[in-house]
Amino acid sequence: MSLRVGRSTNACHTRDEATRTDHSSTLSDALIARVSLLPQSVQLLEGSVLDNIARFGETVKAPEVVASTQLAGAHAMVGRLSRGYATLISPFGPELSGGQRQRIGLARAMHGGPRLLVLDEPDAHLDAEGEAALLIAIRAAKQAGAAVVLVTHRAVLLSAVDRVLTVAQGRIVDDASATPASAKAMMPSTGIMPGSPAPVASVTAALSL
């Protein structure tokens, strides 16, 4: 029987227990790989645009990166960079605008087909073209079966969501299905909704006031 001894004299594990631990770790890694976040402030690392979108994976496949970028609506934008996907991001490379960084960050978040996509103020630095691409990307992620949690102060993205949770002072003050008139959900509510909200729909907008 194979034993693994930890710091404590009682911390002995059989091979079966070690296998269960390894399986749990693998399961956690698989779950983490299925969750993606686009933060308000996108941080890109030194390297090419392709490497950043692929998260510097050991086996980077260009067609998969291009597919993710197309899904994010950023393929044409990347193509306009000096060297396309090979454009280097570094202190000495071409300066990217905030909107370009945001769109590359969105492509990175969508890479690998996440099942849960969290977008925190994803339109913060976008121009009209970027906003239109973002709406298409949210709908595409939903169609691919992903759950999207969207945090925004703006009503322009509400056309892409199924449900609106309005948050004020750290509490949910309104919970409603999205409608063409949902822009009014951007206004502060005076009452606290009783009870806990139902499980989120496939796409959720949490509006922070």
Dig out the tokens for 63 from the structure: 């067609």
DSSP 85-136: GG-EESTTSPPPPHHHHHHHHHHHHHTT--SEEEEESTTTT--HHHHHHHHH
Dig out the tokens for 31 from the structure: 């779950």
pLDDT tens series, the chain, 209 aa: 333 333 333 443 444 444 444 544 555 666 666 889 999 889 899 999 999 999 998 787 899 999 999 999 999 999 999 999 999 998 766 678 989 999 999 999 999 889 999 999 998 889 999 999 999 999 999 888 899 998 887 778 878 888 888 888 878 888 877 655 544 444 433 232 333 333 333 445 554 43
Neighbours of 139 (CB within 10 A): 15
